[in-house]
């Protein structure tokens, strides 16, 4: 038999376990959906739309809720002759300025690439560079007025623009300030809880008319979400009873993200499927989930290490050694002292403490370390600890730094190695 066949023992439809799959019903978000629908209701009345700001960590249903509700809203709007509703959707990943958001909105109107966008234009897309911001904004306003009626602009992952929030001030005010013949509403979606707090007061007043928090899912909610997907994605009776609770518990303890829980379940099913292909039992067990968690975290460390210099790897090793001794979370000062020992053992000269602090920040950004805010009688200070399993970090480091059996031995003595 060849390597590529359609034979499958466990997985019936893997696409259903992907985070971009849009279920007909969004589980465990009834309260948020009701609040969101209330904020959108002025559209059906033919009134000026409210500006809505959604926030919460990644993978908690913000985008899925937006897609579900706006599709329903457009269908409802078709029943009323005095409501002409269009939607323009833009994911702001890679858009670091208001200029970039504006030019990408113009090009989304003229050559759409997002599923919610319902407009089209015969005008040519613009180059993303070479224009003054005022020109781009005028092009955008011209296109919006050509569309007319009621327009909802969805800006997903809007926190990517950072502090350059001019567009979030200009868009909601465009109708009144420029006398545009269009009813315009903005829906901003952010994964960053602090983004709202860092908005300028004038932007906060206009964008955040309606604010809706999507909190992390708890373990019970994640179980219901996974069960909904499993009923479609996997064959009957291929899951051990502990699989869904275990995936849910791991994800709830970490981020409360359905995306993370789905990735873990999908990976566990893949592992079990491959073993079944080799003659093993066609069943996903808790052991497959634990193996999946280890593989995902190891890959996370490997990917994060691609951006690290050798000294960044030494910093991570220093934290791993401290973790093996049950001495984390630990302050930057003491991590630096331990890093110096690691570096000299490897025959190099240590970097300055400032650069080591930068490496700690990079490791935190990649989800390998976790920054812990601590305080004492002497004030506030930062501490770091691993945000992945110690075994995952050591596996990844060994491919770069060689044998780390001494660290594993200490970890086993202290019962901190999985």
In a domain, 56, yes or no: yes
Distance, C-alpha 122 to centroid of its chain = 34
Is residue 284's pLDDT more than 90? yes
Distance, C-alpha 375 to centroid of its chain = 29
Pairing of strands 183-190, 369-376: unpaired
Interatomic CA distance for residues 122 and 92, integer angstroms: 24
In a domain, 19, yes or no: no
Q: Do 197 and 92 fall into the same domain? A: yes
The total domain count for the chain is 3
Single out the residue of 256, 106, 99 nearest to residue 162, CA to CA: 99
- Sole residue written with tokens 């969805």: 154
- Which CATH number characterizes residue 367's domain? 1.10.10.10
> 87 burial class (0-12, 13-18, 19+ CB within 10 angstroms)?
buried
- Which segments of 27-81 does DSSP mark as H helices, in order? 30-44, 62-77
> 38: how many CB neighbours lie within 10 A of its CB?
12
In a domain, 20, yes or no: no
Segment 26-45 mean pLDDT: 95
Single out the residue of 414, 410, 417 nearest to residue 321, CA to CA: 410
In a domain, 2, yes or no: no
Token pair of 227, please?
């069960």
Q: Do 187 and 270 fall into the same domain? A: no
Q: Do 177 and 35 fall into the same domain? A: yes
The dihedrals phi and psi of 86, each to the nearest 5 degrees, come to -130, 155
Q: Do 135 and 95 fall into the same domain? A: yes
- Which CATH number characterizes residue 126's domain? 3.40.50.300
In a domain, 68, yes or no: yes
Q: Do 103 and 230 fall into the same domain? A: no
Single out the residue of 126, 136, 417 nearest to residue 294, CA to CA: 417
* Domain boundary pick from 180, 213, 246: 213
Q: Do 148 and 173 fall into the same domain? A: yes
Interatomic CA distance for residues 162 and 411, integer angstroms: 41
Q: Do 197 and 114 fall into the same domain? A: yes
Single out the residue of 44, 40, 103 nearest to residue 68, CA to CA: 40
- The mean pLDDT of the chain is 91
In a domain, 24, yes or no: no
Where residue 194 falls among pLDDT bands split at 50, 70, 90?
Answer: confident
Q: Do 283 and 187 fall into the same domain? A: no
> What is the value of pTM for the model shown?
0.81
Q: Do 313 and 360 fall into the same domain? A: yes
Q: Do 38 and 52 fall into the same domain? A: yes
Is residue 271's pLDDT more than 90? yes
- Sole residue written with tokens 């559209």: 43
- Looking at 52-66, 83-97, 370-384, which range is the least confident one? 370-384
* Domain boundary pick from 245, 268, 303: 303
- Sole residue written with tokens 């479609």: 232
**Is residue 46 classed as helix, strand or coil in its secondary structure?**
coil
* Domain boundary pick from 254, 286, 303: 303
- Looking at 44-48, 269-273, 414-418, which range is the least confident one? 414-418
Going by the DSSP 8-state scheme, the letter that residue 49 receives in this structure is P
Residue by residue, DSSP assigns 173-191 as HHHHHHT-SSEEEEEEEES
- Express each pLDDT in 385-399 by its tens digit: 999 889 989 998 998
Q: What value does the CA radius of gyration of the chain take, rounded to a whole number of Å?
A: 25
Q: Do 297 and 370 fall into the same domain? A: no
First and final CA of the chain: distance in angstroms? 38
Where residue 164 falls among pLDDT bands split at 50, 70, 90?
Answer: confident
Residue range(s) defining the domain that contains residue 207: 30-213
Q: Do 226 and 105 fall into the same domain? A: no
């Amino acid at each position: 038999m060849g390597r590529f066949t359609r034979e499958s023992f466990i997985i019936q439809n893997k696409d259903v376990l992907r985070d971009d799959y849009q279920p007909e019903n969004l589980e465990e978000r009834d309260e948020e959906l009701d609040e969101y629908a209330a904020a959108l209701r002025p559209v059906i009345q033919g009134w000026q739309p409210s500006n809505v700001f959604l926030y919460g960590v990644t993978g908690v249903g913000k985008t899925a809720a937006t897609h579900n509700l706006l599709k329903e809203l457009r269908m409802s709007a078709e029943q009323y002759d005095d409501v002409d509703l269009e939607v323009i959707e833009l994911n702001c990943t890679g858009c670091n300025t208001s200029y970039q958001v504006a030019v990408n909105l113009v090009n989304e109107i003229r050559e759409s690439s997002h599923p919610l966008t319902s407009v089209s234009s015969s005008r040519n897309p613009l180059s993303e560079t070479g224009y003054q911001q005022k020109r781009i904004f005028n092009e955008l306003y011209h296109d919006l007025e050509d569309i007319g009626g009621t327009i909802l602009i969805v800006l997903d992952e809007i926190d990517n623009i950072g502090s350059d929030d001019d567009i979030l001030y200009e868009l909601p005010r465009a109708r009144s300030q420029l006398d545009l013949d269009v009813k315009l509403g903005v829906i901003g979606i952010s994964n960053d809880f602090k983004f709202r707090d860092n908005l300028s007061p004038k932007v906060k007043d206009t964008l955040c008319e309606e604010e809706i928090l999507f909190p992390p899912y708890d373990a019970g909610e994640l179980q219901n979400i996974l069960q909904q997907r499993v009923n479609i994605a996997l064959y009957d009776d291929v899951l051990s009873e502990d699989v869904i609770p275990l995936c849910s518990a791991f994800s709830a303890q970490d981020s409360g993200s359905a995306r993370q829980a789905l990735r873990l379940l999908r990976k566990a099913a893949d592992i079990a499927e491959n073993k079944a292909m080799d003659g093993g039992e066609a069943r996903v067990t808790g052991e497959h989930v634990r193996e999946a968690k280890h593989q995902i975290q190891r890959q996370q460390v490997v990917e994060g290490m691609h951006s690290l210099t050798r000294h960044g790897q030494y910093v991570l090793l220093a934290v791993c050694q401290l973790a093996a001794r049950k001495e984390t979370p630990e302050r930057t000062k003491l991590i630096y002292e331990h890093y110096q020992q690691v570096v000299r053992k490897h025959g190099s000269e240590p970097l300055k403490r400032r650069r080591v602090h930068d490496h700690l920040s990079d490791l935190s950004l990649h989800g390998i370390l976790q920054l812990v805010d601590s305080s004492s009688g002497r004030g506030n200070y930062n501490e770091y600890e691993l945000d992945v399993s110690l075994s995952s970090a050591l596996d990844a480091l060994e491919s770069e730094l060689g044998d780390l059996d001494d660290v594993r031995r200490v970890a086993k003595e202290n019962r901190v190695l999985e």
